[in-house]
Structure 1
Amino acid sequence: MMDATVSAKTEPENSVVSREAWRDARLKLLELEKEETRLRDKVRAARQALPWVKVDKDYTFDTQTGAKSLHDLFEGRSQLLVYHFMLGPDWDEGCIGCSFFCDHIEGALPHLNNHDVTWVAVSRAPLSKIEAYRHRMDWNFPWVSSFGSDFNYDYDVSFSAEDQASGSVEYNYRKVPADQIADEEHGMSSFYRNAEGEIFHTYSTYARGGEEVCGTLMLLDRAPLGRNETSTMSFLKRHDEYDQKPGAAAASSCCH
């Protein structure tokens, strides 16, 4: 079934030219693409060169095999990627945008693990809610609960009633008006564990910072109509909702 957002779009107005003229235009675009690649390499190098912060605080997570520490989440590897998945204690289902992001993860896990990297999703919802939503989405990646822990608050993806009452909260390294942000937000954080067992926070990204991980977006960027959005990721639904009957309420991404 074609998504209503896509079917409602007007026909594109690109000019139609000869093959030779198209090649000339493509070569100009290629120069921009090469510039983008060089800039991406520069950004990646700067990211790897960031200073680190030692993690001295103890955190406890509820998992399918019992309580675990942040140290345990590494599963014996030296690097840990944490995806801050928007699923709060009183939510009945996970964020649409976070669900879209995590649809891209399972195929990458063997490659990450072989490269000494562990990946895990963390949400503040109790484990029972996480497991219910995981079952619905048919996912098998590691996903743990930080309920009762300061972890989400310390990494600026959860905001208390007091935070919100103050009028603004810290998200994506800037102050955001509290009425423009949810009580749970998304992001991704990176950690390193050395041979002595010390843990360091090396990187966190929020908002659109993890967009390149979503291969579907990168593919759409190369499709004739691109992302075909009316707002950021407005075309998204959970992967089990695309076959909803006509007239069903359209979903939007709570990540944006």
Structure 2
Amino acid sequence: MTALTPASELAARNRAHFPNETAEYRQARNALLAEEIELRRHIERVAELRRRLPAGGEVTKTYRFEGENGPVTLADLFGDKTTLIIYSYMFGPQRERLCPMCTSFMASLEGKVPDIEQRVALAMVARSPIERLVEGKKARGWTQLKVYSDSDGRFTRDYVSAEDADVPGYTVFTRRAGTIRHFWSGEINGEMADPGQDPRGAPDVDPLWTLLDTTPQGRGTDWYPKLDYDGS
């Protein structure tokens, strides 16, 4: 393993300065820079550990979905890729409107679908009938995200919520030599939140929160995205 230069030494090489900053600010900023370098390294370590996971459970059931162009199976969702990401979003039959948090994340993906699909297959799955999912998609102006209905709930109960609850899920599958296996799912839940912390996974999949974390206001404790901001 290559020995890494201490983060503090790398931060000491920083030549950035901005108009009228104080020595106190620069000292604190360089200390923060060292922590940012450590965070980057930790993200890399976690990603490497994820890639090294042993083979996940084989998918032996034939999961069926209803897509915008008709019925498909889990295997069909791979297309010509060996990896499939499924985001299960909160838009069950009992929900009047799309979940704002899920919508925020999905909106961030919409423009990146062509890039994502260079590497992996991507599918958005929810429990409502496909007609309702298509209607919700059109209402948001999405044209690139592919939505699928888990109409019988078998996939949702096995990989998202055994109780078939209307909760989000992020699941990654692989296909090698014709065998589909579960690779990784987000498993952090509200019971794992630190004191005073809004429950969330790590890393945050919605770039909204990463952006807000760079601001003095931060993400806050009581603000969440909405479907619209006209007061309705």
TM interval, shorter chain, is 0.7 to 0.9
* Aligned match for 1:28, one of 31, 34, 49: 31
Q: Aligned letter for 2:157? A: Y
The answer on whether the counterparts of 2:126 and 2:149 sit within 8 Å (CA) in structure 1 is: yes
The answer on whether the counterparts of 2:101 and 2:224 sit within 8 Å (CA) in structure 1 is: no
- Secondary structure of the structure 2 residue equivalent to 1:54: coil
* Displacement after TM superposition at 1:92 (Å): 2.1
* Displacement after TM superposition at 1:86 (Å): 0.9
- Partners in 2 of 1:89 and 1:73 — Cα distance? 23
- The residue number in structure 2 matching 1:42 is 45
Within 5 Å, give how 1:90-105 maps onto structure 2: 90-105=94-109
Deviations 1:188-235 (A, max 9, x none): 0001112x32111100004422653212211111122111332xxx33
Task: Say what the alpha-carbon RMSD is for the aligned residues.
Answer: 1.7
- Partners in 2 of 1:158 and 1:211 — Cα distance? 24
**2:191 is the alignment partner of 1:187:** no
* Aligned match for 2:229, one of 242, 246, 253: 242
Distance 1:210 1:38, change over 3 A: closer
Which sections of structure 1, spanning at least 5 residues, go unmatched? 1-16, 161-182, 249-256
Count of aligned residue pairs for this structure pair: 200
- Partners in 2 of 1:235 and 1:191 — Cα distance? 30
- The residue number in structure 2 matching 1:67 is 71
Deviations 1:84-123 (A, max 9, x none): 10111222211111111101102221112112x0111111
- The residue number in structure 2 matching 1:177 is none
Which range is displaced more, 46-55 or 209-218? 209-218
- Secondary structure of the structure 2 residue equivalent to 1:191: strand
- The residue number in structure 2 matching 1:204 is 185
* Displacement after TM superposition at 1:18 (Å): 5.3
The TM-score normalised by the length of structure 1 is 0.73
- The residue number in structure 2 matching 1:19 is 22
- Partners in 1 of 2:127 and 2:162 — Cα distance? 8
- Secondary structure of the structure 2 residue equivalent to 1:41: helix
- Partners in 1 of 2:224 and 2:95 — Cα distance? 22
* Aligned match for 2:142, one of 139, 142, 151: 139
Deviations 1:40-68 (A, max 9, x none): 11110111111221111111000111110
Within 5 Å, give how 1:109-120 maps onto structure 2: 109-115=113-119, 117-120=120-123
- Secondary structure of the structure 1 residue equivalent to 2:132: helix
- Partners in 2 of 1:60 and 1:89 — Cα distance? 18
The TM-score normalised by the length of structure 2 is 0.81
